[in-house]
Amino acid sequence: MKELIEEFAGQIEKGIDIFKKTTPKAISRKYSNIVISGLGGSGIGGTIIKDLSSGFSNTPVLVNKDYSIPAFVGPDTLFIASSYSGDTEETLAATEQAIKKGASIICISSGGKLSQIAKAHQLDLLVIPGGSPPRANLGYSLTQLICIFSAAGFLPKEFQQDLEKVPAFLRKNEKNILDQSTWIAKEIFGKKVVIYSDASHEGIAIRFRQQLNENSKNLCWHHVVPEMNHNELVGWTEPTADLAVVFIRNSTDHKRNQHRIEINKGIIQAYTPSVLEVWAEGENELERALYMIHMVDWTSYFLAKLKGVDIMDIQVIDFLKQKLSEID
């Protein structure tokens, strides 16, 4: 896993090359809506690209994480199926329905049944390198989504140009990222983690939660500001020293949310001594987002090392899949 996290910048570079060599035909027309179907490490890129595009795209984006698809999916839908293995059963079921409803479809996968479906139905297929855990290959899958959105006009063209500069930016800031992630891991070690962010960066918070779950074998949850100010904040009413709170901060967070977070910190510090905040670095939204993703990935690695757990182990998920395979 250490080597895979180190390769994040390289994955972005290779991912850009993959897209340039296989530019999807489906991006050549307009759409009424976009649906991105994917789960776990294969699906988190959809949530992140939805956040990144929300201030630019006039086309609604829905991230689908189930067997079924929304009733509105049809010929005016761009449906993006993302499954690293190509065998995610929920994504396969959703894709088959999208085919029947006449959606334009782009598949992102390293192989498996999804690639077979794409070839059988002559769908656009972006093939990314396989053989590793899906969560460790976000650099490939998210890059495809950024390129699709930029080339199709759902993001400004400048985003693809910015993306090409990100690998050098990450390598330049690698020491700072490692220092920050090491510090965070030590601060949250031995605790359940609560992750808060501005609503516009929920995808980063989810990525953090998922990586702590899978890599660090750590229970945690996340919520967003301002929504948590209308419910969860009231739950902070008694000492909870076994919890560590991490606020993900960004200079572009809404001004009112910046004030809310400062007030929230003061309230929560009365109940737990472990309240941290981490600021994204970078000159644009893409740099800041990928900087933070790289940092939370490293944090999950260092926390796993502190806990002495096997970062690659996902036996409980394998057990679940085995049991499901026994059911008709």
Task: Enumerate the active-site residues.
Answer: 214, 230, 321
Dist CA 183 CA 302 (whole Å)? 9
Q: Which residues contact 45 (CB under 8 A, 6 or more apart)?
A: 36, 38, 82, 138, 141, 142, 144, 145
Q: Give the Cα separation of 254 and 173 in Å (integer).
A: 26
Q: C-alpha distances in angstroms, 51 versus 144, 199, 208?
A: 16, 9, 15
Residue 144 near residue 117, CB atoms below 8 Å: no
Structure tokens at 129: 């390198």
DSSP bridge pairs for 80: 36, 106
Identify whether the C-beta of residue 73 lies closer than 8 Å to the C-beta of residue 100: no
Angle (deg, nearest 10), helices 158-172 and 174-188: 70
